[in-house]
Structure 1
Amino acid sequence: MTGRTAHWPGEPQDGEDFRTVDPLDSLDADGARTAGGPYSEELRRRLEAAVDAADAPDVVFAVSRHGRRTIHCGGTAPPSPIPRQDLRYELGSASKTFTGLLLALLIRRGLLSGGEPATACLDPARRTDATPVTLAHLITHTSGLPTLPPGFLVRGLPAWRTNPYGRFPAAQVIDAFLRHHPRHRPGTRWRYSNFGVAVLGHAVAAATGTAWEDLLTEHVLRPLALSDTALRARGPDTDAAGHGKDGRTPVPAFDAGGFQAAGAVRATPQDLLTFLEAHLDPSGSPLAGSPLAGALRSVRTPVLRRGLGHRHMHTVAWFRHPTGAGPMYFHGGATLGQQAFLGFRPDTGTALAALCPRRFRAGDPFVATAYALLAEE
């Protein structure tokens, strides 16, 4: 989550046309294959190479295949007193995978429909437009909102290299939304928007009468036993320290300000594998038959087709790209001092969490390496 939109390999650019996916069009075989066995030495070498390629102070590549986990850590900095795999890392925009799952769950439980106008949630007394921005538009990046709200640059400029988001609190995000007039009718164009997902969080909190952090904890973190996942920094004994693009300059812990739903989640590699494994096999988890299991299945369902030939898809939580054997689901994220990549493949039963506390320049290998590792697994 930064001031610019990150584009992953093969991902269409902002503003491209899209089409919605018919529910019958998404019933392709997504089930996990039972083929495969223990991790090979070859995979271990690939993980080591991935860590080395990242060229960051601390790097973690955590992989689960059919429930068997392997975590490889390294980095250019000396090992800290706390093992790298036990630290919590900032997810940035990969936090949106938690947001999408929470919204899907609230819809499953009948607390929301997804069709609620965001304006009506945030200001019930305000007149609703004839074609309003709905919660569904916000989570699918089809609201017509820009990447960041008007006024963000001016307000965040004094802290641009430290914590610009922290200077834009919830009240400012909501006010910017209520004042904004989208250039395109909601539901007609796709444009990645941290602003839109931040508004979604405030609208859902207002509609349910519950703070965003409490909603996420009650409905997602606690049921999945993600005890080392949170929205706030706790300190150096718990959280990985971020670094700038040179890999050496310390960067303060990320303050999401009013953008909690868009990028505030921090988590350990083990918690992230637990989160991803739940997506791989909701019916086989202790949550089988629960609304959360249904939500985990629903966030794998494509809702948009985009790009050349509408080949690439997007769910309410994940980018969905094809591979030779089946689809892969992924999302990346960045703060000013850290980067993350999360993904899973039902066809191979594989989940991957890649984390490092360094903000890369364009073209650095971290995201490309993580993407390739999952795509080729």
Structure 2
Amino acid sequence: MGKPPAVLRGAPIDANQLTTYLRDHVAPPSAGAVVRNGGVVVATDRVDETADFEVGSVSKAVTGLLYADALDRGEVATDTTLGELLPLAGAPAAEVRLADLAVHRSGLPRLPAAMHPWRRTFVMLRDGTNPYGDTLAELLEQVRTAKVGRPRPAYSNLGFMLLGHAVAAAAGTTYRDLVRTRITEPLDLDGFYVAERVEQLSGKAVEGRSRRGRPRDPWVGEGLGPAGGIRATVTSVARLLAAVLDGTAPGTRALDPVAPLAGKAVRIGAGWVTLEKRGREIAWHNGGTGGFRSWVGVDRAAGTGAVVLSARTRSVDRAGLELLGRTTG
């Protein structure tokens, strides 16, 4: 076990207030945390602090950190292409630059047509099954026939799957091990991991459920990892945000906005979305899987952060943003 988080002092919200906030605004089982001045307060509802949740597309924010860290290490460059790192010779996707993947301007589709995403989504909604169990080899085979459109802002799960696996290949490892060696272990994040198979789930993995309470299969899969395959405890995510805020996390320049994502108001760094809220710049990401919703965000100028995790499929975006506002004061 790692060291417990520091006690948060002088914050506008304490543990009891945070517990009440979760019960009032977030579908249980749930967990939340606030970060301020390097300290962390955590609260849970119907789970304990050691329970791990699917964080969904919050994984993209982690992949953004790993990409920026790889740039800092000189393992990749902004003009490095997928074909230089992954076996995609002759495929249109081979010419896509990592820098364009990181800001959702690659021209790649949200998912490859060969994955039959609509069929998988239908079965997932009907039966609660995992639509993303592909191995990396299977994903790359599907990518080889994917069309690449003109570079414009367009959210792509596929793009971040490929970005993470390309960065891992540049480091000579797998994405699962890259998360472990560059995020989990250096930052002492207990319960923060990538599950490629059901057998790799921890004994504290929470079961996700639909809005109506129907159980959902866990979303595990080697291919999915960089775009949505991370599981984490609320304490580990809070510690990660604290490290992002104090600069000890790898690749923190991933939070610096470099391109528009949705008009002039919403911009993006490497995976991290930024927006202005009440005169303050918020860097954030949300996530959603078959049975979970998540939100993380930081106000770097104020040195504050917030996490909301829920094992139900009701959005937590508003709850997370409002919680960050209360933490900032």
TM-score interval w.r.t. the shorter chain?
Answer: 0.7 to 0.9
CA contact (8 A) 1:256 1:263 kept: no
Correspondence for 1:256: 221
Q: Partners in 2 of 1:202 and 1:307 — Cα distance?
A: 26
1:1-377 equivalences in 2 (<5 Å): 38-40=10-12, 45=17, 48-54=20-26, 56-74=27-45, 79=46, 83-123=47-87, 126-127=89-90, 132-152=95-115, 153=117, 156=120, 159-160=123-124, 161-166=128-133, 168-184=134-150, 188-232=151-195, 234-235=200-201, 237-246=203-212, 248-282=213-247, 285=248, 292=250, 295-296=251-252, 298-308=253-263, 310-360=264-314, 366-375=316-325, 377=328
CA contact (8 A) 1:99 1:262 kept: yes
Q: Partners in 1 of 2:91 and 2:28 — Cα distance?
A: 50
How far 1:331 sits from its partner (Å)? 0.4
Decide whether aligned partners of structure 1 residues 183 and 300 sit closer, same or farther in structure 2, where only a CA change above 3 A counts: closer
SS in 1 for 2:35: strand
SS in 1 for 2:255: coil
How far 1:210 sits from its partner (Å)? 1.4
Q: Partners in 1 of 2:21 and 2:294 — Cα distance?
A: 17
Which amino acid in 2 is paired with 1:231?
Answer: V
Instruction: Encode CA deviations 1:174-195: one digit per residue, 9 max, x unaligned.
Output: 12222222121xxx30111101
CA contact (8 A) 2:168 2:174 kept: yes
How far 1:254 sits from its partner (Å)? 1.8
CA contact (8 A) 1:120 1:128 kept: no
Q: Partners in 1 of 2:202 and 2:185 — Cα distance?
A: 24
Structure 2 unmatched runs, 5+? 1-7
Correspondence for 1:23: none
Q: Partners in 1 of 2:261 and 2:138 — Cα distance?
A: 32
Q: Partners in 1 of 2:217 and 2:91 — Cα distance?
A: 40
Which amino acid in 2 is paired with 1:60?
Answer: A
Which amino acid in 2 is paired with 1:53?
Answer: H
Which amino acid in 2 is paired with 1:98?
Answer: V
Structure 1 unmatched runs, 5+? 1-35
Q: Partners in 2 of 1:299 and 1:195 — Cα distance?
A: 19
- Matched pairs, number: 313
Which amino acid in 1 is paired with 2:294?
Answer: A
Q: Partners in 2 of 1:320 and 1:154 — Cα distance?
A: 30
Q: Partners in 1 of 2:282 and 2:208 — Cα distance?
A: 28
Q: Partners in 2 of 1:231 and 1:51 — Cα distance?
A: 28
Instruction: Encode CA deviations 1:213-266: one digit per residue, 9 max, x unaligned.
Output: 1122112221111132111265573111111121x2222222234111111111
Q: Partners in 2 of 1:158 and 1:37 — Cα distance?
A: 47
CA contact (8 A) 2:92 2:147 kept: no
Which amino acid in 2 is paired with 1:70?
Answer: V
TM-score of the pair, normalised by structure 2: 0.86
Instruction: Encode CA deviations 1:85-139: one digit per residue, 9 max, x unaligned.
Output: 2211110000111111111111111111132111232237x35879921111112
Which amino acid in 1 is paired with 2:63?
Answer: T
Identity %: 27
Q: Partners in 2 of 1:151 and 1:357 — Cα distance?
A: 30
How far 1:300 sits from its partner (Å)? 2.2
CA contact (8 A) 1:174 1:202 kept: no
How far 1:312 sits from its partner (Å)? 2.2
Q: Partners in 2 of 1:322 and 1:115 — Cα distance?
A: 29
Decide whether aligned partners of structure 1 residues 156 and 307 sit closer, same or farther in structure 2, where only a CA change above 3 A counts: closer
Which amino acid in 2 is paired with 1:355?
Answer: L
How far 1:62 sits from its partner (Å)? 0.8
Decide whether aligned partners of structure 1 residues 299 and 45 sit closer, same or farther in structure 2, where only a CA change above 3 A counts: same
Which amino acid in 2 is paired with 1:69?
Answer: V
Which amino acid in 1 is paired with 2:136?
Answer: A
Which amino acid in 2 is paired with 1:330?
Answer: W
Instruction: Encode CA deviations 1:43-81: one digit per residue, 9 max, x unaligned.
Output: 954652343222x2311121111123222222xxxx4xx
